[in-house]
Amino acid sequence: MSDARPALVSVGVAVGAVWAIGDSVTRSEWGSVPGRWHGLALCLYLLGGGAVLGMLALALRVATRTRLLRWAFAGAFTVLVCVLVLVSRAGSLSVAGSARAALTSLAYAAVFVASAAVTMRWIASGGIRRRGMVAVALGVTLYVDLTVLVSLYEWAHRLLECGAAGLTAALARDGLSRRPRLRAALTFIGAVCALTGIAALPWREAFLDEASYLEQQPRYLGRAVMRVESLFTKRPIATRDSSAAAPSSSADVEEDIPQVDPKWRDPPPESAAAWAASHRVRRDRRFNVIVYYVDSLRADVAFDPKVMPNVAAFADANISFRRAYATGSDTVNSLPALLHGRVNAPFHDQDLLSVADRAHVRRRLVIAQSASRFLLNQLPGFAWPERIEVPDHAPDRKVWGYGADQSTAGQIVDAGLTFIEQAEGEPYLLWLFNFDVHAWRELTKEFLDERATALRVPKQGALDWRYRVSARSVDEQFARLMQELKASGALQNTAVVFVADHGEAVGENGFWMHSTHLWESLVRVPLIMRVPGVGKARIDKPVSGVDVGVTLARCFDPAADLMDFHGDDLMSFVGDPKLARRLPIVMMAQTKTTTTRIGLVEDRWRLVLPMESRRPTLFDATQPKSDERNLVSKHRSRAARMTSELLNSPVAIGKSLSK
């Protein structure tokens, strides 16, 4: 047993090194994170791996002397894991939740121990072939954890992380057992990292301020920073009741969050200046409305003439809101706000559909079948008097949210044009719900190949080829719709809106879909309007998805009151871009039903508050790759004020706010 202690410390250092290297190698761009953060990843994991396995070595050295001590060690280890879990989650879990958390943590620890022990025995009785097989299994496990399942299932991440740690430990223990010099060197490195970590404690706040943006990057480095933060922060916001006062500092958020500000329950009235600006633009005219809605379309893609030339041209010729933000990074949190104009609130009798109903306007939704079935289950209030479902998958194919493999963009436009032709002078609201971009991973390769060839979409590009082809195909169908509307004369009395509900990560930080985060790529969306009689305008002022509902409601009722909406009439900003908003722009991100982040946009600033760490991050949206630089340390007073405003909003409560 004389070598147990240095061997296990060096194994822990080796585990940390493998994870840090895996974190860097699997990023979409090697240089996407500054070099000092690669070094940070290495130090954190060397420190963590060496310290944990070093302490385990010391315990084993004592515990293996007698059977009684072995049982005592096992019991102490169990109690230690449970205590650490309960302390870290203090106040945020019920008794039953605490018990489940402790048992779950023990299960993860068991996965690590079992994978390491079984693997060590298996490779000890074999040769190089078995070691190679374990190395391949380790590589696959790391790849899946760091690319395929990023930000999807926390339990799966922890399971794979523990399993990968066990495999790495077994390989390292086997390799280092015959290399005493390397073992000694790694043990020395682990000791240096430990001393460095202890010496750096007085500067931990500055470190966490600068490194906190890495929490948004759901790889091993981001997880390491989150775990370090958990040592110096209190319980999460997500499960706390609202009360008390706003935080006085931006360093972190105190124990309690404030009550929702009354202005969210009873929004302030529209100012005389805003009403006058809107009236100058609208001139009290009424229009039909066509909403060309694209699920999961990023703003940078929609405005890029190389990817979506027709939409980009449409934006240049009409009213283009270049900084429009969704109220959520998934459809369930963003779509309702587009219609009813309220944040985190149920459908109400003053939303867009209700105003259209009282104005005797026909309301028809044309939507892909799988999207329709999903929304009927998740958002029962998204009910339309007339609904046309376009099949997007074979009848025997199981689809729920994802999985539809047939394009519907062309059929949706066909159904919309047929409806307009049959309307015969009746006022209408037509919502064309495009789902092709959302299904960019599932659409058949035959369809994508044909579209890419016909539309000359190159293989090389900034984003995934499948996503770009899907977007270009939708772009072509939008152009066809506009050509038909122009030819028929329908554009003379019809407002056309091009909008998306949220964006898509498309591999950013290893994340391929949406939800969970509040990156610019996920919450900044295209919003373009063509209104008869209104010239082109580019609005760089931040606007929100909640503004769409009230703006369109006034196409049917120019006197519609804003008192029931959280949003503002976008036409007032066209008339006077300097007007102030009545309420701030807020947003939220969820994983399934758990709120993971909340955010607020003010001028060029976007503040994001992770619900676990409770340490605000502040980004300047005018800077390239803005999500990579947290500016809290340079703008503490602004961050503190924005955090207070955010915590007084409906997204901080995590439940529906109704009047």
Q: For 129-171, how does the pLDDT look when each residue is reduced to its tens digit (9 = 90+)? A: 888 888 888 888 877 777 666 556 666 777 787 788 778 777 8
Instruction: Please state, in angstroms and rounded to a whole number, the distance separating the CA atoms of residues 315 and 469.
Output: 20
433 exposed, middle or buried (CB, 10 Å; 0-12, 13-18, 19+)? buried
User: For 262-338, where are the E strands, in sequence order?
Assistant: 288-294, 319-325
Q: CB–CB of 268/251 below 8 Å?
A: no
- Beta strand 319-325 with 543-544: parallel, antiparallel or unpaired? parallel
The 3-state secondary structure of 85-141, one letter per residue:
HHHHCCCCCCHHHHHHHHHHHHHHHHHHHHHHHHHHHHHHCCCHHHHHHHHHHHHHH
Instruction: Please state, in angstroms and rounded to a whole number, the distance separating the CA atoms of residues 132 and 155.
Output: 28
Candidates 532, 565, 596, 523; CA nearest to 659 is: 565
Instruction: Please state, in angstroms and rounded to a whole number, the distance separating the CA atoms of residues 293 and 642.
Output: 31
The helix/strand/coil state of 543 is strand
Packing angle, helices 4-25 and 154-176, rounded to 10: 130
The residue-averaged pLDDT of 360-373 equals: 94
Instruction: Please state, in angstroms and rounded to a whole number, the distance separating the CA atoms of residues 45 and 48.
Output: 5
pLDDT in tens, 412-422: 999 999 999 99
pLDDT over 90, % of the chain: 40
Residue where the block lists tokens 């296990």: 8
Q: Does the structure show a pLDDT above 80 at 261? A: yes
The helix/strand/coil state of 404 is coil
Q: CB–CB of 325/524 below 8 Å?
A: yes
pLDDT score at 3: 46
Q: Does the structure show a pLDDT above 60 at 70? A: no
Round the average pLDDT of the chain to a whole number and report it. Answer: 79
Instruction: Please state, in angstroms and rounded to a whole number, the distance separating the CA atoms of residues 433 and 419.
Output: 14
Instruction: Please state, in angstroms and rounded to a whole number, the distance separating the CA atoms of residues 659 and 656.
Output: 10
Calculate the dihedral angle through the C-alpha atoms of 587, 606, 214, 650, rounding to the nearest 10 degrees. -30
Query: Which uninterrupted H or E stretch holds 389?
Result: strand 386-390
261/90: higher pLDDT: 261
The residue-averaged pLDDT of 37-52 equals: 56
Q: Does the structure show a pLDDT above 50 at 243? A: no
Q: What is the CA radius of gyration of the chain?
A: 28
pLDDT in tens, 83-111: 554 444 444 445 565 566 666 767 777 77
pLDDT score at 389: 95
Q: Does the structure show a pLDDT above 90 at 19? A: no
The DSSP bridge partners found for residue 488 are none
Instruction: Please state, in angstroms and rounded to a whole number, the distance separating the CA atoms of residues 519 and 542.
Output: 15
The residue-averaged pLDDT of 650-659 equals: 62
pLDDT score at 262: 87
Instruction: Please state, in angstroms and rounded to a whole number, the distance separating the CA atoms of residues 161 and 16.
Output: 12
Q: CB–CB of 292/499 below 8 Å?
A: yes
Residues listed for the chain = 659
Candidates 473, 355, 457; CA nearest to 412 is: 473
The end-to-end CA distance of the chain, in Å, is 69
pLDDT in tens, 501-534: 999 988 776 677 788 889 999 999 999 999 999 9
pLDDT score at 48: 58
Taking the whole predicted model, whether its pTM rises above 0.75 is answered as yes
Instruction: Please state, in angstroms and rounded to a whole number, the distance separating the CA atoms of residues 524 and 303.
Output: 12
pLDDT in tens, 448-483: 999 999 999 999 988 999 999 999 999 999 999 999
Q: Does the structure show a pLDDT above 50 at 4? A: no
The residue-averaged pLDDT of 293-307 equals: 96
Q: Does the structure show a pLDDT above 60 at 409? A: yes
How many CA within 13 A on the CB side of residue 636? 12
- Largest Cα separation within the chain, whole Å, is 92
pLDDT in tens, 332-353: 989 999 988 888 766 556 688 9
How far is the CA of 446 from the CAs of 199, 439, 620, in angstroms?
Answer: 59, 14, 41
